A and B are shown apart, each in its own frame.
Chain A
Amino acid sequence: MELVKPDHLQELITSFANKDVYIHLETTNGSYAAHFNESVFNAGAFIRNIVIKFELGKVAGDSPHRIGLKLPSGWIYAQGITHYKLDEHGRLLMAGLDAEGKLAVALEISETPFTY
């Protein structure tokens, strides 16, 4: 993955519009967050291999970027995206990595299912 180039990422996102695509969306502050600091409220969410079709996808804001996908009757968004890659399987992988290189958020779009 490399640092987001917004124009390029915008092109890639648009290439998945109006198709059935598989989504991976994840936010996390780590399973140990509240162990190391008991005042941390540990929250996160995860979906994987959910099929959606979006009509409009946008990259917004300066880095870290926000990515929003408008669905016929709903929304998906991810905040804090810093890195991206179109991998060798044609999957668009986006992630938000903190200063230490720890993943805080991930949004991935693919025309084929992700592994389990």
Chain B
Amino acid sequence: MIKKERHVLVVFPHPDDEAFGVSGTISSYRDMGVPVTYACLTLGEMGRNLGNPPFANRETLPQIRKEELKKACEAMGLDDLRMMGFRDKTVEFEDDEKMVKLIEDLIEETNPSLVITFYPGLAVHPDHDATARAVVRAVRRMPETERPTLYTLAFANNTVEVLGKPDVVHDISANADKKIATLKAHASQTVWMMKEMEIKLAAQDPDALKWLNFEHFYTYQWDKDFE
């Protein structure tokens, strides 16, 4: 059961970050009529997958991923995409205070009841962790009673040791088709993975079905703050 929200703000650094773990949830909110804003900090300019023979190069990849991101948002039913203009792999080197202010401005404008991002320090990619730090700091500065709920994604190898099991599980099977369409929209990143995945799904592989149909979140606990 997915709880209805007033407005959901999703903040990730890379096109496709939303696809794997949150796209079913986003589509479910859109079905309920909940407005969803997705702030995507970079265009994944430094993505490594160029193909062999190559379908892109370092300088054309951003434009390709920008179009993929727009298609992914269409597939999810999301109509408020913000591309924030940072460069892939540099988010952690930006001024920390500037990043907090950026998130504060997004929160002030969209007045979300729920914010979704990564969990700081347990999100593997430095951009993920830096984005998460900025979001947590921005929300922390709000008066406790006004803070939106914060759902976080964590997938570092030691996640369960640190956080235990995720406390929020969304069954998004009703939107599985949209999730597959969202993943496929990011073709430059997912085409090989999805080929394998669709074979598994067609064979009703239980792990693949679980991967597709359930999305997991850790509600951020302010009494166990990361800093």
Contact = CB atoms under 8 A, between A and B. Distances in A.
Contact of A93 (B46, B58, B87, B156): B58
B85 to A, nearest CB: 8
Interface residues of A, number: 30
Contacts of B59: 87, 91, 93, 108, 114-115
Contact of A100 (B52, B85, B156): B52
A1 B60 CA distance: 11
A87 B50 CA distance: 16
A101 B87 contact: no
A31 B54 contact: no
Given A97-B54, A101-B54, A102-B48, A31 B124 contact: yes
B166 interface: no
Interface in A47-97: 83, 85, 87, 91, 93, 95, 97
A91 B53 CA distance: 20
A87 B57 contact: yes
B204 interface: no
A100 to B, nearest CB: 7
B191 to A, nearest CB: 11
A102 B89 CA distance: 16
7 contacts: A46-B46, A83-B57, A87-B60, A93-B57, A95-B58, A101-B53, A103-B48
Q: Which 4 A-B pairs have the closest CB atoms?
A: A101-B52, A101-B51, A102-B48, A31-B125
